[in-house]
Amino acid sequence: MRTDKDVSKRYDRRSRRGYDSSSPQRRRNRKKGGPGKGLALDLVSVNSEASEENFGKTFGKTIDNLYDSMAGSMSALMNNPNLTDYDLSANMNKFTTDMNCADVTQNLNKNLNTMNCNVPQPDFNFKLDWRQNANISLSDWTITVYDGKDSAVYNIHRSEVGSGPRQSGLLASKFSEDEQRATTDPTTEVYVPPRAAAMFPEFLDYIYHDQIEISTKDVIALKHLANHFDVRPLYKQCQEFMEDDLDIKTAPVYCYTADLVLDEDVKENAVRLMAQKFGRMNMKVVTKLPPKLFKEVLTSAHLDVESEFLSTKVAQFLRFSESEISDEVLFMLTHPQIMPTVSPDEAFFFLNQGLKYPQVLNEGGDMSLRNRCVEAVTGSWMTTLAGPIATLKPRQAGFGDEDPDVDPECAFNYSSLPAEIKVELFESAILVAKGDVEKSTTRRHF
């Protein structure tokens, strides 16, 4: 039968052999970060070389103190005369298990908190984050995002991006394929439009931390990224936001941002809405659109407004557009298929615009922009033509010192016209006036 002395000797030999802090095995374990697989440690964020050195020293000291404490408890048990051999053996097995499975996190944290407060402390609530230093956060994958001009590299973690409720289906498949082929190049390169590339940091924040602020100006870019990388929860959020947010006030923004990321479906929905509600659209917002998108609204099958009313909106766009008005833009927006007739109130404005590009002004024969403007002015010559003249020559018009009720811009646009066009306007107006007199005389006779 074994005596307490035999058991004690056996445990002492085992202790010296397996847990001696100065043994070669113990030193190897320290380099690995712990005594073996049974030691459960949280991931520690070390923010400087100084804190890393102190962490190593404190870790070793904590392990030694832990083993010394367990050895003392074991010795006390073996010296207990009331324990049978069976009880002693059972307690020894329990201590061995506890030693192998020891969680020193709490002990280690307690010792580290007694260190110099000026040294950055390890964070035992550490969470992976793509924004941290790649070496500290143990990043195991990089993704390079190209936008056609520039590129940006992001250090990510497969465990965060390739799994979980907000995982990227595209990247998860990529990770799986690379593991099967045993590749050694943990990188992915993608191209996305510039607008979407600018939102990629916010996109990663959503995957890592479920944090996202969706707004009118950003939702299309986020939706594009969610679709491209197959992040279904984010795609659903973007769709639901758009359904509630898209109206006549936000439609121009949706149209513009959708065009930037080549989202034809959203762009068509926004164009259709603007065409249907064109008469109620705020032109200050519409003028922020590029001319080619404004043309899509003007040529939409859903647009149903009078040509003269449409010409006033085109004139407002040309006045206040943030884009450069070239000959191509002027021809595109004033094409006879878009506005076959011109509002008399805007005829002088269009003539002055056309004078900058004579080819645009005169092209089209009878339906040229010049002829349409002349017809609009002479068709209401009594107000449209006589009014600006009366403003310039009030005494001859019989107004004395009073100013006639005429739009100053209209009078200015008339005065800016060259003599050649003024003569053409007068000639056409006289012929129209003659026709009006003849009709009036004919009606009088009957």
Which pLDDT score, from 0 to 100, does residue 394 have? 52
Give the pLDDT score at 11: 45
pLDDT of residue 263: 94
Split at pLDDT 50, 70, 90, the class of 71 is low
Position 104 scores a pLDDT of: 46
Predicted local confidence at residue 38, as pLDDT? 37
2 band by pLDDT with thresholds 50, 70 and 90? very low
CA distance 51 to 48: 5
Which tokens go with 341?
A: 């007739």
Task: Please give the backbone phi and psi of residue 385, each rounded to the nearest 5 degrees, phi first.
Answer: -95, -45
Going by pLDDT thresholds of 50, 70 and 90, the confidence category of residue 34 is: very low
How large is the average pLDDT for residues 3-20? 47
Q: Residues 151, 142: contact at Cβ < 8 Å?
A: no
- Give the pLDDT confidence score for residue 379 in this predicted structure: 85
CA 128 centroid distance within chain: 23
- Distance in angstroms (rounded) separating the CA atoms of residues 33 and 326: 69
| Section 292-321 average pLDDT | 93
Residue of higher predicted confidence among 236 and 414: 236
333 burial via Cβ count (<10 Å: 0-12, 13-18, 19+) = buried
In the numeric block, the tokens 């043994």 are attached to: 23
pLDDT at 120: 54
- Say if residue 404's pLDDT is above 80: no
Percent residues over pLDDT 70 in the chain: 65
Indicate the domain borders of the chain: 4-112, 130-215, 318-446
User: Average pLDDT for residues 258-264, to the nearest whole number?
Assistant: 94
pLDDT value at position 435?
A: 79
Please tell me the predicted confidence (pLDDT) of residue 96.
54
**3 state SS of 59:** helix
Who has greater pLDDT, 230 or 33?
230
More confident residue, 392 or 325: 325
Task: Name the least confident of 4-18, 55-69, 72-86, 395-409.
Answer: 4-18
Least confident interval from 112-116, 155-159, 278-282: 112-116
Q: What would you report as the CA-atom Rg of the chain, rounded to the nearest whole angstrom?
A: 41
Q: What is the pLDDT of residue 222?
A: 96
Residue 19 binned pLDDT confidence (cut-offs 50, 70, 90): very low
pLDDT at 41: 37
pLDDT tens figures, 164-187 = 889 999 999 888 887 777 666 788
Local confidence band at 290 (pLDDT 50, 70, 90 cut-offs): very high
Burial class (CB in 10 A: 0-12, 13-18, 19+), 162: buried
368-393: average pLDDT = 80
Q: What is the pLDDT of residue 312?
A: 93
Q: How many CB atoms lie within 10 A of CB 151?
A: 12
Strand partners, 134: none
pLDDT, residue 252, reads 94
Q: Count other Cβ atoms within 10 Å, centred on residue 430.
A: 12
CATH fold for the domain made of 130-215: Potassium Channel Kv1.1; Chain A (3.30.710)
pLDDT score for 86: 52
Question: Which range (19-33, 50-64, 292-306, 362-376) has the least confidence?
Answer: 19-33
Query: What pTM does this model have?
Result: 0.64
**In this model, does residue 115 exceed pLDDT 50?**
no
As a whole number, the mean pLDDT across the chain is 77
What pLDDT shows up at residue 262?
92
Residue pLDDT, tens place only, 87-109: 555 555 555 555 454 444 444 44
pLDDT greater than 90 at residue 425: no
Residues ≥6 apart with Cβ < 8 Å to 270: 246, 251, 252, 254, 255, 258
Judge whether residue 369 has pLDDT over 50: yes
Least confident range of 6-15, 229-238, 426-435: 6-15
Least confident residue range of 106-115, 196-205, 390-399: 106-115
